[in-house]
Amino acid sequence: MGFAFDQAPERPENIDAILNGLDRYNPETTGVFQDYVAQQCQDQSYDCYANLALLKLYQFNPHLTQLETTTNVLAKALTVFPSPDFSLCLSLLPPYVLAQSRNSEKTGAAPSGTLAEAVQHLSVLHNQLNNAQYDAFWDTLNGDDLYADLVADVQGFEELLRVRIAVVVSQCMQEVQRSILEGWLNLKSAKFDNFVKEVCGWKIEGEKVIIPLNKENEARSSVVRENVKFEQFGRMVKRAYEQPAEALGRRGHGTRHTAPKLSAPPLEVPAISFTRLADAYTHDSRRHAQTGAFHRPPKPTKMSDYAEPQSQAGNSSRDEETA
């Protein structure tokens, strides 16, 4: 069963009291945390929350920083990969240390005996583990005495890394070639057989290593059902109309100046006399019934020809013009 990020099953009571109180930021507790890191290196326990608290104290009090303790904290963080603990620890280191480490990757080795040198070498191991370059990881670790010195204080460092590598392999594979797994674990012959059977609980069948099924490496078909009712779309549609309205409202109450709108005078259109139109066509229909010829009224030349009479005088003058 896993534990919360801020919990550790083997944490002493005095450390737990400091972490949950105001003494967590008291520089006088730096020595207590440093002794706790040394204890973790000896008994193979691990408390990320307490280690981050120590690095935070170093950040507030740079004069209290100890190179060996910081290196041990980073080395312990490597033993729990692929968790992000190593990256969390790097984020609490002084910026100049990270800058020197990055520059040294381009220009060459960092100054000997500095924290930047330790960070540079441990970051190489971290990247190889994250990229599943396990063969390269063991070659790098065993190829330079400096790497061995950086992790020398962490008891069982190699054994802890083998267990973490085995956990990652069990999460993505059901079987693996023996020769490949030997390179990943850096073990041969009887030591390999003992680790695979006793520590991992796997089976060896010829040149293959059989990994039991678990919830991570088992291929299972999943059926995804989405039960979305039509009523649930109502809120989305309503919100889609409300958001543009709110945006327009905020824009209207803003201080941005807009150009004034130019308005043209309304066009005066004389009203059309539909009564006169109906009388004209009625009169024409009567002539057609009498003479058999259909007389189409003359095409109007302007809209005022069908305009409503404004007054009686206007009607008489218009009738005289028509006559």
Q: Domain map of the chain by residue range?
A: 1-102+113-155, 157-219
Give the ranges where 61-114 is alpha helix by DSSP (H): 67-78, 85-91, 95-107
At residue 321, the pLDDT reads 47
The Cα 218–Cα 298 span in angstroms is 92
> Which segments of the chain have a pLDDT < 50?
1, 259, 262, 267, 269, 272, 293-295, 303-304, 306-309, 311-323
User: Cα 98 from chain centroid?
Assistant: 24
Give the ranges where 44-84 is alpha helix by DSSP (H): 48-60, 67-78
Tokens describing residue 127: 């990247």
Encoded amino acid at 67, one letter: L
Dihedral (Cα; 156, 76, 198, 9), 10-degree rounding:
120
Half-sphere exposure of 292 (CA within 13 A, CB side): 0
Closest CA to 90 of 137, 42, 58, 133: 58
pTM over 0.75: no
For the beta carbon of residue 3, count every other beta carbon within 10 angstroms.
8
Dihedral (Cα; 200, 201, 205, 209), 10-degree rounding:
-30
Query: At the topology level of CATH, where does 1-102+113-155 sit?
Result: 1.25.40
At residue 227, the pLDDT reads 77
At residue 9, the pLDDT reads 86
The DSSP call for residue 28 is G
At residue 3, the pLDDT reads 67
Q: How far is CA 112 from CA 51, 101, 121, 227, in A?
A: 25, 12, 11, 62
